[in-house]
Structure 1
Amino acid sequence: MLWALQVKVAKLTDNEKTPKISETVISSAKNIPITLGTSGGSSFTVINRSIEAQKLGAAAVMVSAPPMLKPNDDALLTFYEKLGNSIDIPIVVQDYPETTGVHMSLSFIENLVERVPSALYLKLEDPPTPNKISSIRQRIGDRMEIFGGLGGVYLLDELARGSAGAMTGFAYPEILISVCELMNNSSRDEAEAIFYKYLPLILFEGQSGIGISIRKAALHLRGFISSPKVRFPGANIDPNTQSELESLITKLNL
Structure 2
Amino acid sequence: MADENWTLTIKPKRKLLDLQLRDVIRYRDLVYLFVKRDFVLQYKQTILGPLWLVIQPLFSTIMYSFVFGNLANIGTNGVPFLLFYYSGTMLWTFFAGCFSDASNLFINNANLFGKVYFPRLTVPISNVFSNVTKIFIQFLLLMVFYVYYIISGAPIRGSLWIFAFPLIFAWLAALGMGVGIIISSLTTKYRDLKQLVTFALGLAMYATPVVYPMSSIPSRFSWVNFVNPVSAPIELFRIWFYGAGSVSSAMILTSLGITVAMLFLGLVLFNQNEQNFIDVV
TM-score range, shorter chain: under 0.3
Structure number with higher helix proportion: 2
Q: Normalized against structure 1, the TM-score is what?
A: 0.27
* Higher relative strand content: 1
TM-score by length of 2: 0.25
Q: RCO greater where, 1 or 2, for CA within 8 Å and sep 6 or more?
A: 2
